[in-house]
A and B are shown apart, each in its own frame.
Chain A
Amino acid sequence: MKYFLKKLTGKLIEGTLFLSSTVTTLTIILIVFFLFREGLSLFKHSPIEDGFVVAINSQNTVKKITSPQIMDIFDQEITNWEMVGGKNDSIILFRIDNITDYYTEEQMGDTLQHIPKLLSRLVDSIPGIVAFIPASYAGADFKGRILELDNISLRKFLTDKEWYPTAQPAAQMGVLALISGTLWVSLGAILLALPLGLATAIYMAEIANEKTRRVLKPLIELLAGIPSVVYGFFGLVIIVPLIQQVFDLPVGETGLAGSIILAIMALPTIITISEDALRTTPRAMKEASLALGANKWQTISRVTVPYAASGISAAAILGMGRAIGETMAVLMVTGNAAVMPHTLLEPVRTIPATIAAELGEATQGGLHFKALFALGCILFIITMMVNLTVEYISAKRKYSKR
């Protein structure tokens, strides 16, 4: 009996340990589930916010309108139905707020109960009208035609440059500008950080003596420990004004500011991983080089670095991955303009910064909210690819080098 109890406790404990070990896996599964459930639901949706419709006169010959066209119509860039494939007739915009221009309060009734009837009549009487109204007002006996819009498509989402997620009546959900902003800033960061990081790694692994290394190592760790808001704050008070002055810009919040801050933040990753990679170069390999009359620098540049090349590239990829996912520091210094970047001296906006800046304002479960989750999905996919690439590289290194 006692033996049995003891065995049971043992099993119980082992079970608990096992369950704990599944938490990371479970978390990833849950992250995928929640992120993608919300994010993918964006693509089952038209760009018009739930509860609203866009209605036109039933005689109107226009069949289909895309969401950028709707935006242009309501921005009065498109003013004639001819421009979207209809008859030559000017477009008359109607938003629900405009109802008072047409009807008195009396006509609407004490409890506004007459509005649906009035709207129906209005849309029916003006051939060129396009009306953006609550869906509840366009019931069964509504005489206008409700425009059908295509659902937001993944392709458009990824390739459109326009990011106006709260535009009325039709949201513009193109993330290309955000994706390129993210990549520009991160690429800039890596280009800055890689030479500096690699030089430091080489210095620490091959040149500096043990004492210097023992001083440098904790300092690099410290650099890694500084919170990203503090980097953001430092960027805001030092780098941003500096860039504004040096390049004589209207604002210093630019992609470059983001790249510089991200480069500093990526340094510890790059240094630590490259240094480890350089250290894996077998002593015998370096000795062989020296024994052939190479000096130390020739040995480093021709043997040690090439030998560690895959590890160094893993460091660069991982650094890039970190930069892509970094939120706060970038949010604070890049100026966050959601337009296609042309140079790093303009404000740009990254995916993580967009999520951080906009999620607070987005209505729970609304279009904008979903779009931000879809951005989260993109971020998740990018970083997963980065992780798997790095895992693959390091697994291969281990395998090929005994």
Chain B
Amino acid sequence: MNHIIATEKLNLYYNDFHALKNISMQMRPNTVTALIGPSGCGKSTYLRLFNRMNDLIDGVKITGDVRVEGKDIYAKNTDVVELRRKVGMVFQKPNPFPKTIFENVAYGLRVNGINDNGFIKDKIEQSLVQAALWDEVKDKLNKSAFELSGGQQQRLCIARALAIEPSIILMDEPASALDPISTAKIEELIYELKENYTIVIVTHNMQQAGRVSDNTAFFYLGELIEYGETKEIFTNPKDKKTQNYITGRFG
């Protein structure tokens, strides 16, 4: 078994609404998997399964299996906090905390009980370097994170996620609110991060999926229509719906 993430016959309901239908899918370590599909088809919902973000919503019901590193993360004895340390997340809109740049990156460490200031300092530098932000912010670590541009804020959020050393990073349309130059930077970053992390990225942008991902999954109305190597899906889709979508006929 070489799968770091796997779902098996997974169904998710928002009250009566059947949002994910019988999804079985596996992802290998150190790959980038893109989730694509028209708006409202369940991409975000699926992504948020892996760090149990859906738990926060009232009325969510889940059946089936979700495994991360082989463990059923919806089992009773799961430590959600521990899980979320292992599975980082980057959101659609940059959402830094109303704190300094330094404290933003330190946040994950602090809430996980790390108080060794030397370690925190080193870790912050390391994470910001990894997120390709260090050079731009190293002189203003004590400035508010809100002073950064949108693209910088998003890379700060990536650094923030990296600081707690996750093995998996979930990204929900991380570049959709950014300008093309910032987007290019984020994509470059994803490419570099792949070496050490498993990445699952939701994207609306076909070209982006094509550029950054190894595998692509196409969702439609809560169903997984097609999943395979990105090259395959883009050049030789098996399903008519997939073909329509990637050629821009709907969505």
0/1 per residue, A316-351, Cβ < 8 Å to B? 000000000000000000000000000000000000
A26 interface contact, C-beta 8 A: no
Chain A interface helix/strand/loop/mixed: helix
Task: Given A287-B53, A288-B91, A288-B157, answer yes or no on A293-B85 (Cβ-Cβ < 8 Å).
Answer: yes
Taking a contact as CB atoms closer than 8 A, the residue among B82, B92, B97 that contacts A289 in the complex is B97
A112 at the B interface (CB under 8 A): no
Cβ-based interface call for A7 (8 A): no
A290 touches B (CB below 8 Å): yes
In the complex, what distance in Å separates the CA atom of A282 from the CA atom of B94?
Answer: 12
* Cα separation A292 to B85 with both chains bound (whole Å): 6
| Contact partner, B84, options A282, A285, A291, Cβ 8 Å | A291
For the A-B complex, the count of residue pairs with Cβ-Cβ distances under 8 Å equals 69
Q: Mark A270-297, 1 if CB is under 8 A from B, else 0.
A: 0000000000001011011111111100
Which of chain B's residues has its CB closest to A309's CB? B98
A288 to B99, CA, bound (A): 13
A99 to B95, CA, bound (A): 86
In the bound complex, do residue A292 and residue B53 qualify as a contact, i.e. CB atoms below 8 Å apart?
A: no
- Could you mark each residue 84-118 of chain B with 1 if its beta carbon is under 8 Å from any beta carbon of chain A, else 0? 11001101110111110000000110111000000
Instruction: List the B side residues contacting A291 at CB < 8 Å.
Output: 51, 53, 84, 88-89, 161
Q: How far is the CA of A306 from the CA of B112 in the complex (A)?
A: 19
**Chain B 154-186 interface mask (CB, 8 Å, partner A; 1/0):** 000100110010000000000000000000000
Assembled-state Cα–Cα distance A284/B112 (Å): 20
Residues of A within 8 A of B53 (CB): 287, 290-291
Residues of B within 8 A of A210 (CB): 58
With A284-B93, A287-B53 known as contacts, the answer to whether A293 contacts B99 (CB < 8 A) is: no
Contacts of A303 on B, CB cut-off 8 Å?
97-98
A298's nearest neighbour on chain B, judged by CB, is B111
Are the C-beta atoms of A292 and B95 separated by less than 8 Å? Answer: no
In the complex the two chains form, is B111's CB within 8 Å of A285's CB? no
A302 interface hit (Cβ, 8 Å)? yes
Q: A284-B93, A284-B95, A306-B98 are in contact. Are A293 and B56 (CB under 8 A)?
A: no
Q: Is the CB of A290 within 8 A of B56?
A: yes
Does A307 reach chain B (CB closer than 8 Å)? Answer: yes
Taking residues whose C-beta sits less than 8 angstroms from the other chain, chain A's interface range is 10 to 19
Complex CA–CA separation, A282 to B93 (angstroms): 11
> In the complex, what residue of chain A is closest to B108 when comparing beta carbons?
A292
Interface size class of B (residues with CB under 8 A): 20 to 34
What's the Cα separation between A291 and B54 when bound, in Å?
A: 11
A388-B137 Cα distance, complex, nearest whole Å: 37
- Cα A294 to Cα B157 in complex, Å, equals 15
Whether A302 contacts B95 in the complex (CB less than 8 A), given A292-B84, A293-B164, comes out as: no
Known: A293-B108, A293-B111, A293-B112. A288 touches B97 (CB 8 A): yes
Interface residues of B in 108-133 (CB under 8 A from A): 108, 110-112
Q: A290-B56, A293-B81, A293-B164 are in contact. Are A282 and B95 (CB under 8 A)?
A: yes
A-chain residues with CB within 8 Å of residue B164 when the two chains form the complex: 292-293
In whole angstroms, what is the CA distance A285 to B146 when docked? 13
Q: Which residues of A contact B107 (CB under 8 A)?
A: 289, 292, 294, 302
Q: CA of A291 to CA of B110 in the docked complex: distance in angstroms?
A: 14
Nearest chain-A residue to B99 (Cβ)? A306
Closest chain B residue to A308, Cβ basis: B98
B residues near A287, Cβ cutoff 8 Å: 53, 56, 89, 91, 95
Residue of B nearest to A401 (CB): B98
Residue in B56, B58, B95, B112 whose beta carbon sits within 8 Å of that of A288 in the complex = B95
- A288 CB contacts on chain B under 8 angstroms: 89, 91, 95-97, 157, 160
Chosen A-B contacts, 9 in total, with CB atoms closer than 8 Å, are: A284-B93, A288-B97, A290-B84, A291-B88, A293-B81, A294-B111, A295-B81, A306-B98, A307-B98
Residues of B bordering A, CB below 8 Å:
51, 53, 56, 58, 81-82, 84-85, 88-89, 91-93, 95-99, 107-108, 110-112, 157, 160-161, 164
Please give 5 more A-B residue pairs, beta carbons under 8 A apart, in addition to A284-B95, A287-B91: A288-B160, A292-B88, A292-B164, A293-B84, A293-B112
